[in-house]
Amino acid sequence: MKDVVAFFSPIYILMLAGFLGYEIIGRVPVILHTPLMSGTNFVHGIVLVGAMVALGQAVTPLEQAIGFLAVLLGAGNAVGGYFVTERMLEMFKSSKGQEK
């Protein structure tokens, strides 16, 4: 019984997080998406640090490959998020300064 709970607990948490994230993002007004995206980039930074810690403790080649992939995807996601946030923030700048 303990093994079954240990197996299904992460799946349950993943499903609950996905549903909760979908419901929260769907109810956020469009004007608040940029600050929300910046906060999400912060969370991705934490995920990247966690992936690096997991990679550092990996022993087998499979664990190292999965850890490397996690670091690669986490870094790409965080960097891409910052570029998108910067681009969105440029959309809110006034055009008065560009005319000079």
* pLDDT tens digits, one per residue of 33-69: 777 777 777 787 888 898 899 999 999 999 999 999 9
Report the pLDDT value the prediction gives residue 59, as an integer from 0 to 100: 92
Which residues, in sequence order, are CB contacts of 92 under 8 Å at separation 6+?
34
Report the pLDDT averaged over residues 63-89.
87
Per the prediction, the chain carries an average pLDDT of 83
Considering only residues 1 and 14, tell me which one the structure prediction assigns the higher pLDDT.
14
Report the pLDDT value the prediction gives residue 31, as an integer from 0 to 100: 75
Which residues, in sequence order, are CB contacts of 71 under 8 Å at separation 6+?
48, 51, 52, 55
- Residue 10 · residue 43 · CB < 8 Å: no
Q: How far apart are CA 32 and CA 38, in angstroms?
A: 10
DSSP 72: H
Report the pLDDT value the prediction gives residue 52, as an integer from 0 to 100: 92
